[in-house]
Structure 1
Amino acid sequence: MRIAYIAYPTSLMLASANAIQTWTTLRELRQQAPNTLIIIPRWLGEPSRFKEVGATHLQRPAIGKLSRFKKSTLWYYAERSVFAAMSAAVVVSQRWRGEAVDVVYVREVIAAGWWATLWGPLLKIPVIYEAHDLESWNPSRAKETWVQPVLNLLDRLTLGRSAAVASLTDDFRQLLARLGWRKPNDVAVIPDAFDDSLYQPHDRQPARAQLGLDPSAPLIVYAGMTFSYRGLDRLIAAFANLHQTMPDAQLLFIGGRPAEIAQFSQQANNLALGESVRFLGALPQSATPTYLHAADVLVIPDTVTDVTASPLKLFEYLAVERAVVLPNIPALREILPEQIGYYFERGSTQGLEQALADALTDPLRHEREQAGRQCVQDHTYRARAGRIKALCQQISQTTNNGALD
């Protein structure tokens, strides 16, 4: 069996969670299925870490750049449509060379839509779509009024006509069943994962000494590559209230773009939090674990998605064996039970403040940290790649048996 894995990562140098998840999954998938064909777009001469996993790079169509003249996400939809056709041409050329593809695995909605409805049926190749959300719910979707029905149709066709769907959460699988788009047994739940070569438990004090942090101050850490749609304004407000009763507490932010850092830094200054709140900016991925080790509490103030919420940081936080404060939504409870995580009502600043206080003062916190680590011990990228390979084998065999019948 040969897999074609088609993706459109937002950063070829792994400066986004999307890119890290894709790259690390492919690193492990190539170990288990070495003949996997990886198809990724890039600009001419653009550096790419994806060369390390043997990716075939296609020239990225520059259609999206037209948004400089008329701002619209539709340009990017067109760009991804062209890329889907280019990826189909690569698969055809591989077949002519005697290196046929047995199943296509796509994790980008526009490319998946074309593959599920056109290229897959035309080339008689089953298509698996790894869905990270409904495009019609995407905060970055095209906003033109007339486009919304088209996006609804895109979601329905892509999810309905793929040979199978890989979902990050069971909550999303149940949603598709309620909508009548897929039977639950047609949807495989393959959550996100953590890189066990980076994220392991370590003691707090050596990490704090290495970073020059106060050895005794209650320390809360948020780590994320971008701050958009993550509810960080509520985190700062909740911390400001907490700081009145815990004046030695500290809050560290890792990641964020300069404009985002400036915005939230101004909020912290307006609340007179001074040096209690620090923004460290973007750090190399290899540097992040030490800050997580130094923390008492790690926090997820909100998630961009709802039924598909499976943030990388949740797995990484739990993998380093630290208390996690997070919004109470079903998709997150699939990974971390309520009795282990420190949950709060989503969108509630007061609830977030209370959850932070509970985590910092809980005498049983260490036991809950250890239990949290156990929750994710089977969610390594090695295991994730194995689940993808098994799903591809299942769909390939089912399709071949159906063809023989």
Structure 2
Amino acid sequence: MSQRSKVLQLQPDYNVKAHDFADLAEQIVKALPSDRYEVTAAFLRGKPGPGEAVSRADRSVYFEFSDKSLKGMRLRAMWQLYKFCRREKFDVVICNRFKPVNMMLALNRWLKVPLCIGISHGFGEYDRFYRRRQTQRLIDRHWRFVGVSPAVKHYLLDCDCGFTDQNTYAITNAIDIEQAEGLQHSREKAREMLGIDPSVRLIGALGRLVPVKGHIYLLQAFAALKDKYPNTQLAIIGAGREESRLAAEIDRLGLSGRAHLLGFKEIALQYIRAFDIWTMPSLAEGLGLALLEGMSGHLPVIASNVPAMLPLIEGAGGLAITPKDVPTLQAALDTYLGLSDDELKAKGEQAFRYLQQHHDIEEFRREYLNLIDSGLEQARKEQP
């Protein structure tokens, strides 16, 4: 057997889940044939506790750097990462998010890893002038960059700091639909587990309870419709610092018994079919993966028209709203709540078909494998 190419996938934090239907780093590992690639997963911070999931890569490395050591010049962390990469002699380094990209941009001046891939998961990473200047100085022929959506790719190109149409790609986020569907309980079972009345229409949302998710505007929009649709309730799965504020808003709006904060749920996707309508009123999103999760539950979608999500909403035949704009969110909810059960279900099936056609995990894996194969081939041709 010919020698396998050595790949390092570098992530800022340990966050491997037992189910990887939406874990894009793990899906990249799955994309690389084991007979041709030997993959190491490395995490700058954190490590799994007893019984927690580990990467499916050939091996995992946990640097366990402190937050302090990853700020500023990061000299100690940079030196350790340099020694590790020099010893291992990787052929490819895949960097997820800004910090790993930034560290490897500097180190690869000396390491000369043939192919480095930097993945941007959202917007704003290169807004600061000094970051753009540094990036422009360090990008060279070894580098390729990926935005997780066309919108993120355009953001990178617009930064005008070394990202070009030749070295920057959009590989659209995706989920493992088959695995996601296999985790989902039936509507009846999911409602029973959540303690939700099986007879009501249920508006749903899933995500951390933080201001950027826009849940407070969802509550306000629902409150304006609660009398028009007395058989409708609202449920939000998630935990976070906004919980007490949202609970107070439920009381203020007279939504007690109609709006439910269900808290954190392990593998929240298993409950998704409890909902009839899926909402994402976020003020900003880089990935919009939860929108795809909603579609995997055959649900009609309402979501903010932020750049990362607008193409997904339009493709799925969903309803786009303006962030923070309660009247547009109220109108979208009113539109779907005014449909018959059959019409609402048909909208959900339309969203699911779009997901199958445009966000299939097999295509995602193919695109990453092609990027890595072609990048290595080009690097070999350029060798002196």
TM-score of the superposed pair, with normalisation by structure 1 = 0.80
1:400 deviates by 1.1
- Give the share of equivalent positions with the same residue, in percent: 17
How many residue pairs get aligned? The number is 371
Distance verdict in 2 for CA 1:360–1:31, change over 3 Å: farther
Aligned residue type for 1:262: S
Structure 1 residues 52, 28: CA separation in 2 closer, same or farther (over 3 Å shift)?
closer
- Is 1:223 matched with 2:203? no
SS of 2:371 mapped into structure 1: helix
1:400 aligns with 380
- For 2:217 and 2:136, how far apart are their aligned partners in 1? 35
Q: Choose which of 61, 74, 80 in structure 2 pairs with 1:86.
A: 80
In structure 2, how many angstroms separate the alpha carbons of the residues matched to 1:121 and 1:355? 54
Pick from 115, 118, 121 the counterpart of residue 132 of structure 1.
121
- Go from structure 1 to structure 2 and tell me whether the alpha carbon gap of 1:61 and 1:164 turns closer, same or farther (over 3 Å shift): same
- 2:180 and 2:168 map into 1 onto residues whose CA distance is 29
SS of residue paired to 2:122: coil
Q: Could you say which residue in structure 1 is the equivalent of 2:12?
A: 8
Instruction: Choose from 207, 228, 242 the match for 1:245.
Output: 228
The unaligned stretches of length 5 or more in structure 2 are: none
Question: Is the alpha carbon distance of 1:37 and 1:339 closer, same or farther for their aligned partners in structure 2, counting shifts above 3 Å?
Answer: closer
Q: Shift in Å at residue 229 of structure 1?
A: 1.2
* Cα shift at 1:206: 4.9
Q: Does 1:316 align with 2:316?
A: no
Return closer, same or farther for 1:93/1:384 CA change in 2, 3 Å cut-off. Answer: same
The correspondence of residues 150-161 of structure 1 with structure 2, limited to 5 A, is 150-154=130-134, 156=136
Deviation, 1:26, is 5.1
Contact 1:303 1:311 in 2 (8 A): no
* Aligned position for 1:348: 325
Secondary structure of 1:222's counterpart equals: strand
Equivalent of 1:176, from 140, 149, 156? 156
Partner of 1:293: 273
- Is 1:262 aligned to residue 238 of structure 2? no
Q: Which amino acid is 1:301 matched to?
A: P
The answer to whether 1:115 aligns with 2:104 is: yes
Counterpart-to-counterpart distance in 2, 1:112 and 1:161 = 15
Q: Is the 8 A contact 1:126 1:396 kept in 2?
A: yes
* Matching residue's letter, 1:373: F
Aligned-partner Cα distance in 2 for 1:20–1:323: 19
Distance 1:12 1:80 in 2: 22
Specify which of 371, 374, 386 is matched with residue 350 of structure 2: 371
Deviations 1:143-174 (A, max 9, x none): xxxxx432343455577776111111112323
Partner of 1:385: 365
Structure 1 portions without partners, runs of 5+: 67-74, 96-100, 139-147
Report the equivalent of 1:144.
none
Secondary structure of 2:173's aligned partner? coil
Match of 1:357 in 2: 334
Residue identity opposite 2:294 in structure 1:
Y
CA contact (8 A) 2:316 2:350 kept: no
| Residues 1:36 and 2:39 aligned together | yes
- On the 8 A contact 1:116/1:161 being kept in 2, the answer is no
Aligned counterparts of 1:345 and 1:36: Cα–Cα separation in 2: 42
Q: CA deviation at 1:355?
A: 0.7
Tell me the residue number matched to 1:302. Answer: 282
Task: Note the C-alpha offset of 1:389.
Answer: 2.2
In 2, distance between residues paired with 1:45 and 1:174? Answer: 35
Task: Find the residue that maps to 2:71 and give its secondary structure.
Answer: helix
SS at match of 2:12: coil
Alignment correspondent of 2:27: 25
Cα deviation code 1:334-363 (max 9, x no counterpart)? 333267011112321110111112122234
- RMSD, aligned CA: 3.2
Cα distance in structure 2, aligned partners of 1:169 and 1:371: 21
Task: Give deviations 1:245-272, integer Å, cap 9, x for gaps.
Answer: 2223111111122x32222111111212
**What aligned pairs does 1:272-287 form with structure 2 within 5 A after superposition?**
272-285=254-267
1:32-59 CA-to-partner distances (Å, cap 9, x unmatched) read 6651121123457855522554442233
Q: Is residue 220–residue 296 contact of structure 1 (8 Å, CA) maintained in 2?
A: yes
Tell me the SS of whatever aligns to 2:359: coil
- The change in CA–CA distance for 1:389 and 1:196 in structure 2 (over 3 A counts) is same
Distance in 2 (alpha carbons) for counterparts of 1:252 and 1:345: 21
SS at 2:308 equivalent: helix
TM-superposed CA distance for 1:202, in Å, is 7.1
Structure 1 residues 186 and 208, CA, compared in 2 at 3 Å: closer, same or farther? same
**What is the CA distance between 1:78 and its match in structure 2?**
4.0
Higher helix share: 1
* d(CA) in 2 for partners of 1:136, 1:236: 31
Which residue identity does 2:39 align to in structure 1? T
Say whether the 8 Å CA contact 1:318–1:372 is kept in structure 2.
yes
Letter in 2 for 1:395: G
Tell me if the contact between 1:323 and 1:368 (Cα under 8 Å) persists in the aligned partners.
yes
